[in-house]
Amino acid sequence: MRVVVEGGANVLIDYGDPNWLYRLCKKFPESLRLCNQYTSENFRFIDGEMKPFFGDLLCPMELKSVPTDHLELIRNYITNLDDNQVILLKIKQLKGSSFRETLLHDHFTSIYRSNEGVILMEIKPKWLFSRLKYCRNCTHNVIKGRKIDYCYKVLLNNAQHFRDIVSQCECVPMEFIEDMIRYFSGPDNILSILHDAQRELEVKWLDPTNSEDVSDELLRCMTLRDVTCFLEWHPGLPIKVSVVDVDLKLRNKWTHWLRTHEKLESCESKVFH
């Protein structure tokens, strides 16, 4: 058993099965019961609210309950073990150990290559549909000081923009580039699917004053603006796509969203395209 990735809200655990990972919620370190409650609610949210948009593209996952004393490392993340079971989210492993070479890594994109020449892209498209007149993604880059010269919103409308994304990668096969351009030119690519889902759930921003003002619709919308997509390329085979990070947002995130919105609106170097 080992920790693969530790994020702000979750811990990914490798139990030794090369095909599956187990995700432990640590959103509420003061209560295992609350973490279990969120994990169960989140699974229902993903299955009921997100799966209709993504179907088979959604990364396979299921709930797994284990006795608390079978997961010793839980004490590193949760101080109050007020439940005798730990509810984990069992998730399909998308980035196996064979992807050892990193070709590109920035805020929106990571590209890996395996020993066999398989290429895996991990992308965060963020806001593909928005009624804002400026590009939310690129303007946010300006605020954060990120020097990123591409945008998935541009790729959505111009598949040739993919060349700009991989321009920093060395030794990327031309066949990979052409296959990805062909994929993003098609009507059913993941960016188009995500764009249409964001458009369907888009809600007008109303400045909330407390958590009770945050609607379920806004929570669903913000989830769709924060998903991660894996695209796996094998020479001569169709692109394999998996969608992850479709988790239910907590209402207390509204203060962060509001601060970000205010910074974007006041930014004097907004990006338009």
From 75, 92, 109, give the residue that closes a domain: 92
| Shared domain check, 252 and 167 | yes
The DSSP symbol for 48 reads I
Q: Does residue 36 surpass a pLDDT of 70? A: yes
Q: Does residue 196 surpass a pLDDT of 90? A: yes
> pLDDT of 46-86, one tens digit each?
999 999 999 999 999 999 999 999 888 999 999 999 999 99
> pLDDT of 140-173, one tens digit each?
999 999 999 999 999 999 999 999 999 988 789 9
Structure token pair of residue 210 = 């407390």
Q: Which of 36-40, 145-149, 170-174, 205-209 has the lowest mean pLDDT?
A: 205-209
Quick one: average pLDDT of 120-128?
Answer: 98
Angle of helix 254-266 relative to helix 136-144, nearest 10 degrees, comes to 90
| Shared domain check, 7 and 56 | yes
From 37, 72, 92, give the residue that closes a domain: 92
Q: How far apart are CA 215 and CA 217, in angstroms?
A: 5
pLDDT at residue 205, as a whole number:
63
- Predicted structure pTM score: 0.94
| Shared domain check, 147 and 105 | yes
Q: How far apart are CA 65 and CA 59, in angstroms?
A: 19
Give the ranges where the chain is alpha helix by DSSP (H): 32-45, 51-54, 136-144, 152-157, 162-165, 174-185, 190-201, 216-224, 254-266
Number of folded domains that form the chain: 2
pLDDT level of residue 208 (50, 70, 90 thresholds): low
Q: Does residue 21 surpass a pLDDT of 80? A: yes
Q: Does residue 207 surpass a pLDDT of 70? A: no
